[in-house]
C-alpha cells in the first residue's frame, strides 16, 4: 500500500487509519500492485517528482495520528524529500520480510525503519550515514526473577524473525551452544512486549528507543541486561541501485546534523522519555483509572482549543488532579494558579475544580498567544508550558542567551539547554528578569510531555474498541 504526501505535508486524502488501510489495499488490487520495478536512481526520483520509501508501522517509524502521518522515520524521510524538492510516497509494511522484499524488488527507493547496520545486512545492502544510536535490551516482566546474563534464561524466549536481534543471537550462540530462542515472523517488537506482559512469553529483545517509549504505558517491562551495546541506525539502499542516491544522502545527513534538524527531531520523539521513574509511572496510570474519569469531562469542556489531554497533563503535573492542592508558595487548586493570575482569569475560587481548570486553560492559551508566530509546533507548545512554570519573561531571557551563544532561539531543544543558565549569576545579571531556577521548567515540560504522551496513547485505545484495553487487561495499575 502507498500513501502520498506533498512537500508541505498536506495529504491527498485523510481517512481514519483503519479505513485508509482498507482503501489503500483496494487501490493496490485495482492497480495490480504495480510498483516502480526497476533500479532506483536519483535522476529517476527527480524526473518523476517523488521518492518512494519503505518503512514499518510502529511508534518509532510510521503511524497515523489525528493530525495525519507521524513517526521519527517518516518525518526524517519527509525532510529528505524536501531537500530533493520532491514529494514522498510511503510504503508501510507490517514485518521485516515484506519490507526487505520491497527493496530487493526495487519497489521502493530505500528503507527508513530504524534499522541497525549489521554484518549480515552489509553483505547485501548499502547504508546511509548514521542518524541515531541504539542498544539492544533483553526484557522480562517486573516481579519475575531478573536474568542478568544469557545463562540465566530459563523460559520462553522469542524475537522478531530476520531482525538484528536474531542476527546478534546467532553470533552469541557460536560461543554459547545452549542458547535457544524462537523467531516469530508474525509479530513485531511491540506485540512481543505485550506477550511478555501477559505472560505468554518470558523474554524478548527490544531496541532502547522503543523501550523508552513503551515503558510509559507498560512500566512492568523491566530490563534484564543489555544484550548488545550501542549500534548505529541508518537508512538501507539497494546495492544494485544508483550510487547517486547514497551520495545525496551523505550530503543530506551532513546538512541535517549541522543545522540541528536531526537533534530537534530526536528531541520531539524521544526528549521526554530519556529518564524512567517506575513509581511515578505506576502512580500516573493508577490516577488515569481512578481519578481522571471524574474530571475528564471538565478537561474536555475547557480544552477544546488546546487538547484536553494536554490540559489534563498540565493539571496532573501541577496538582495530581487534587482540587485542594496547595504549595508553600501559595498557588492552589487543580491548575495551581497564583492569586493574581486567578483574578485575572476570572476565577473566584481556586479550590473549585471547574473554575480552576477553566482559568488554567485561559491562562495557558494566553501564553501560547504570546509566543512569536514564527515558532511552529510542537516547540510553540513547549515554550508555553515552560512559561506556565517559570514565567514568560524568564523563558524569553533564555531565548536571548541562546541566540547570543549561536543557538536557535525558536527551537526548544536549543533553549532548554540554556534555561539552567538562569541560575548562574554571570548570565542572569545581564537578563531583564534576573535569577530563575531554570532547570525546573525543563523537567516540568518533560514530565508533562510524558503524561500527555501516555494519555494520548490510552485515548487512542479507547477510540479503537476492537483493540484490547491494555490498562485493564494487563492490570498495570495495581
Query: Over the stretch 300-332, which tens digit does the pLDDT of each residue have?
Result: 999 988 899 999 999 999 999 999 999 887 899
What DSSP letter does each residue of 175-206 carry, written as one string? T-TT---EEESS--HHHHHHHHHTTS-SBEEE
pLDDT at 15 over 60: no
Set of cell numbers at residue 134: 541504539
The Cα 457–Cα 455 span in angstroms is 5
Whether residue 478 has pLDDT greater than 70: no
Q: pLDDT band at 4, cuts 50/70/90?
A: low
In which residue are the cell numbers 547485501 written?
A: 124
Per-residue pLDDT at 328 = 81
pLDDT number for residue 36: 52
Q: How confident is the model at residue 477 (pLDDT cuts 50, 70, 90)?
A: very low
Q: What is the pLDDT of residue 24?
A: 39
Average pLDDT of 436-457?
A: 94
Stretch 140-161: mean pLDDT: 95
- 441 vs 194: CA distance, rounded Å: 34
pLDDT confidence tier of residue 418, bands split at 50, 70 and 90: very high
CB atoms within 10 A of CB 308: 20
Mean pLDDT of the chain: 88
Task: Tell me the per-residue pLDDT of 360-409, one tens digit each, with 9 for 90 and over.
Answer: 999 999 999 999 999 999 999 999 999 999 999 999 999 999 999 999 99
The set of catalytic residues is: 318
Query: How far from chain centre, in Å, is Cα 172?
Result: 31
Q: What is the DSSP string of 206-268?
A: EEHHHHHHHTTT-TTEEEEEEEEEEEEEEEEEETTS-HHHHHHHHHHHHHHHHTTHHHHHHHH
pLDDT at 273: 83
| pLDDT digit string, tens, across residues 209-227 | 999 989 988 999 999 999 9
Q: Report the distance separating Cα 370 and Cα 383, nearest Å.
A: 10
Out of 100-104, 197-201, 418-422, 470-474, least confident range: 470-474
Instruction: Look at 38 and 450; give whichever has higher pLDDT.
Output: 450
Residue 8: its pLDDT value, please?
Answer: 40
Res 33: pLDDT: 43
CA 351 to chain centre: 35
| DSSP states along 262-285 | HHHHHHHHHTTSSS--HHHHHHHH
More confident call, 92 vs 21 = 92
| Domains of the chain, earliest start first | 3-127+235-270 (3.40.190.10), 133-232 (3.40.190.10), 280-461 (1.10.530.10)
Question: To 5 degrees, how large is the angle CA 129–CA 272–CA 462?
Answer: 110
| Residues paired with residue 93 on neighbouring β-strands, in sequence order | 56
Amino acid at each position: 500500500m502507498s500513501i502520498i504526501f506533498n512537500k508541505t505535508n498536506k495529504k491527498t486524502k485523510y481517512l481514519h487509519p483503519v479505513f485508509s488501510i482498507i482503501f489503500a489495499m483496494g487501490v493496490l488490487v485495482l492497480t495490480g500492485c504495480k510498483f516502480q520495478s526497476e533500479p532506483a536512481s536519483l535522476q529517476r526520483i527527480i524526473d518523476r517528482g517523488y521518492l518512494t520509501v519503505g518503512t514499518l508501522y510502529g511508534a518509532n517509524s510510521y503511524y497515523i495520528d489525528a493530525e495525519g502521518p507521524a513517526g521519527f522515520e517518516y518525518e526524517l524521510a519527509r525532510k529528505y524529500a524536501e531537500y530533493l524538492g520532491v514529494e514522498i510516497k510511503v510504503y508501510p509494511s507490517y514485518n521485516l520480510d515484506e519490507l526487505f522484499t520491497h527493496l530487493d524488488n526495487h519497489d521502493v527507493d530505500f528503507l527508513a525503519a530504524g534499522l541497525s547496520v549489521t554484518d549480515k545486512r552489509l553483505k547485501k545492502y548499502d547504508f546511509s550515514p548514521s542518524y541515531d544510536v541504539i542498544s539492544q535490551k533483553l526484557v522480562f516482566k517486573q516481579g519475575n526473577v531478573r536474568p542478568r546474563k544469557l545463562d540465566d534464561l530459563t523460559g520462553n524466549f522469542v524475537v522478531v524473525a530476520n531482525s538484528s536481534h536474531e542476527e546478534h543471537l546467532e553470533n552469541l550462540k557460536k560461543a554459547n551452544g545452549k542458547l535457544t530462542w524462537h523467531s516469530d515472523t508474525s509479530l513485531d517488537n511491540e506485540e512481543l512486549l505485550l506477550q511478555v506482559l501477559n505472560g505468554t512469553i518470558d523474554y524478548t529483545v527490544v531496541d532502547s528507543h522503543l523501550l523508552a517509549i513503551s515503558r510509559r504505558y507498560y512500566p512492568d517491562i523491566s530490563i534484564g541486561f543489555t544484550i548488545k551495546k550501542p549500534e548505529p541506525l541508518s537508512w538501507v539502499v539497494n546495492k544494485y541501485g544508483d550510487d547517486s542516491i547514497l551520495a545525496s544522502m551523505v550530503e543530506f545527513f551532513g546538512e541535517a546534523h549541522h543545522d540541528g534538524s536531526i537533534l530537534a527531531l530526536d528531541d520531539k520523539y524521544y526528549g521526554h522519555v530519556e529518564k524512567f521513574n517506575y513509581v511515578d509511572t505506576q502512580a500516573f496510570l493508577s490516577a488515569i483509572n481512578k481519578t481522571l474519569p471524574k474530571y475528564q469531562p471538565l478537561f474536555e469542556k475547557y480544552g477544546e482549543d488546546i487538547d484536553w489531554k494536554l490540559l489534563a497533563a498540565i493539571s496532573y503535573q501541577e496538582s495530581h488532579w487534587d482540587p485542594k492542592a496547595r504549595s508553600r508558595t501559595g498557588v492552589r487548586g487543580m491548575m495551581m494558579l497564583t492569586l493574581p493570575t486567578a483574578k485575572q482569569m476570572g476565577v473566584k475560587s481556586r479550590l473549585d475544580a471547574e473554575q480552576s481548570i477553566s482559568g488554567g486553560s485561559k491562562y495557558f492559551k494566553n501564553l501560547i498567544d504570546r509566543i512569536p508566530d514564527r515558532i511552529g509546533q510542537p516547540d510553540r507548545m513547549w515554550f508555553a508550558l515552560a512559561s506556565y512554570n517559570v514565567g514568560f519573561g524568564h523563558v524569553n531571557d533564555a531565548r536571548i542567551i541562546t541566540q547570543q551563544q549561536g543557538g536557535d532561539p525558536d527551537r526548544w531543544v536549543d533553549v532548554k539547554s540554556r534555561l539552567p543558565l538562569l541560575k548562574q549569576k554571570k548570565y542572569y545579571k545581564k537578563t531583564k528578569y534576573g535569577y530563575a531556577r531554570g532547570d525546573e521548567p525543563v523537567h516540568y515540560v518533560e514530565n508533562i510531555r510524558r503524561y500527555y504522551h501516555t494519555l494520548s496513547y490510552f485515548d487512542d485505545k479507547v477510540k479503537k474498541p476492537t483493540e484490547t484495553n491494555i490498562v485493564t487487561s494487563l492490570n498495570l495499575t495495581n
